[in-house]
A and B are shown apart, each in its own frame.
Chain A
Amino acid sequence: QKEVEQNSGPLSVPEGAIASLNCTYSDRGSQSFFWYRQYSGKSPELIMFIYSNGDKEDGRFTAQLNKASQYVSLLIRDSQPSDSATYLCAGNFGNEKLTFGTGTRLTIIP
């Protein structure tokens, strides 16, 4: 059973600070990872995906993947109240389907 683990939170971060969201996984065959944001009562929307070890930046968001340690993280710089949401980590383990974690609820405190 391929697992994706996330701390459910809630994680509270002051406005303007860096929010760090982490995800670990159990399958060394993992190939790609996706971070989705889900506002309360809404459907998930893709923020970033990452396939290779290292960092990938997109605006205020940076995804980090470390396949040797089996973790993936999402950093949000200059956090805004609009970033308050649940962040879902999902992995594609080469079997043609995504496995989602339970999500981390992030609250940005003005």
Chain B
Amino acid sequence: EAGVAQSPRYKIIEKRQSVAFWCNPISGHATLYWYQQILGQGPKLLIQFQNNGVVDDSQLPKDRFSAERLKGVDSTLKIQPAKLEDSAVYLCASSLVSSTDTQYFGPGTRLTVL
């Protein structure tokens, strides 16, 4: 079974630029999550989709972050404009139905904002 795919693996941008991350979950998984993990901290949920609907986006900085999952499969997360404090690893995860099911994480995208 293929795991969660993410791209790119690494990205370096300057502040105020925009960036987009892509995630393809495990086939058949209804729920998709985007987490932000700052060095030395645990993952923080940014947004959770179930199929193509948003379950929780309470911690998503909506003035600069956006995410979509148009066909209920893959998803993109965008930051525009980026700030220095956005430097982090962005993890995508998926689970079969809900967050009580095991979440499987992708390899992450390491973003550095200069």
Contact = CB atoms under 8 A, between A and B. Distances in A.
Residue from A31, A32, A46, A98 with most neighbouring chain B CB atoms (10 Å): A98
B55 A101 contact: no
A58 interface: no
A97 B107 contact: no
5 contacts: A43-B105, A88-B43, A96-B55, A97-B55, A99-B45
A92 interface: yes
Given A43-B91, A43-B107, A43-B108, A97 B99 contact: yes
Contacts of A42: 107
Nearest to B98: A96
Contact of B100 (A43, A88, A92): A92
A98 B45 contact: yes
Contact of A32 (B41, B45, B100): B100
Interface of A: 4, 6, 8, 31-32, 34, 42-46, 49, 88, 90, 92, 95-103
A98 B99 contact: yes
Contacts of A96: 48, 55-56, 98-99
A49 to B, nearest CB: 7
Interface in B39-59: 40-45, 48, 55-56
A46 B99 CA distance: 13
A83 to B, nearest CB: 19
B44 A100 contact: yes
A68 to B, nearest CB: 21
B113 to A, nearest CB: 19
A96 B44 CA distance: 14
Contacts of A4: 42
7 nearest CB pairs, A to B: A100-B42, A43-B105, A102-B42, A100-B43, A43-B108, A97-B56, A44-B105
